[in-house]
Amino acid sequence: MLHASRKYLAAGAVALSLGLAPAGAVAQDFINVLTGGTSGVYYPLGSQLSKIYGENIEGVRTQVQSTKASVENLNLLQQGRGEIAFALGDSVKSAWEGDAEAGFDQKLDKLRAIAAIYPNYIQIVASQESGIKEFGDLKGKGLSVGAPKSGTELNAQRIFGAMDMSYDDLGKTEYLPFGESVELIKNRQLDATLQSAGLGVASIKDLALSLPVTIVSVPNSVAGTLGAPFIAATIPAGTYEGQSEDVPTLAITNILVTHSDVSDEVAYEMTKQLFENLDDMVAAHAAAKAISAENGPKGLPLPLHPGAERYYKEKGLL
């Protein structure tokens, strides 16, 4: 086996030195896909992306890593401890600008974009018995705002600020991932959870099937107060069990991010294989229905990786 692999490496080295490497081939590389908690949307999509890359990019080994999501992912990329990551648009903007309050002590200058993907929706879900129906009703109640310094928690901070409220207005503040937040509500230890995720997130589906819930409205005017990358959005009726009406809220674009030390060829292939295998991504989670190559290079708060840029230029999208 060792002899065969040496022979393969030697042959590869000769092919490369002669400029004979097959089209689309890359040097032996490792792609670690950074995601989020296992009950969110990043994880199933990241697992599928890891599979797509492993099967379609020659000479690449892949791995998927569950993390605390956006902020941790971006810091790991800067340190070279991952090759591609899911992150929320406002977290990416904060990382590129070096916003210490958002968890970035300095500008993360190695970050580069692969693609804008699907929107995250701010989804605030309360037990029906809590009586919470709109954002202002959260005063005096118990709310989980997401893991500390996660993209979700940064979203929560900004929305509270735009509503002239703070965590001090809550009766109880928990900083927990999606799955743990839901378990506390089921056990009557918490009133509500704020989750920034794609529509149909597993944790909220699970909660809505377990007890009667209310999807809490957020005024569309908050999007105007916060500005880009926040936009006004709607959670369509029927997204969750028992949800009979559309509910106004906010949305924010998710971004696939890499770093400057990833080779142009690998970044090109990561971009290409994402868009050429969208059916597989949709099979992993319905949120991927909103991903398109046309939107990939739009509205990004940081530069594209040159490899990704090459893909969009080839497709006439830049």
The pLDDT tens digits of the residues spanning 198-256 come to: 999 999 999 999 999 999 999 999 999 998 788 899 999 999 999 999 999 999 999 99
Tokens, residue 4: 């065969």
Domain with CATH 3.40.190.10 in the chain: 27-119+254-314, 120-253
CATH code at 27-119+254-314: 3.40.190.10
Predicted local confidence at residue 27, as pLDDT: 54
- Using a 10 angstrom Cβ sphere, with 0-12 exposed, 13-18 middle and 19 or more buried, the burial of residue 288 is buried
Predicted local confidence at residue 299, as pLDDT: 86
Predicted local confidence at residue 25, as pLDDT: 46
Predicted local confidence at residue 39, as pLDDT: 85
pTM: 0.79
Predicted local confidence at residue 261, as pLDDT: 97
Pick from 62, 60, 64: nearest CA to 44: 64
Predicted local confidence at residue 183, as pLDDT: 97
Predicted local confidence at residue 15, as pLDDT: 35
Return the CATH architecture of domain 120-253: 3-Layer(aba) Sandwich (3.40)
The CB-based long-range contact list for 202-208 (8 Å cut-off, 24+ gap) reads 202/39, 202/40, 202/41, 202/44, 203/39, 203/40, 203/178, 203/179, 204/123, 204/125, 204/178, 204/240, 205/240, 205/241, 206/39, 206/182, 207/125, 207/182, 208/125, 208/240, 208/241, 208/242, 208/243
Low-confidence ranges of the chain (pLDDT < 50): 1-25
Predicted local confidence at residue 28, as pLDDT: 60
CA 122/CA 129 separation, integer angstroms: 21
Tokens, residue 272: 């290409």
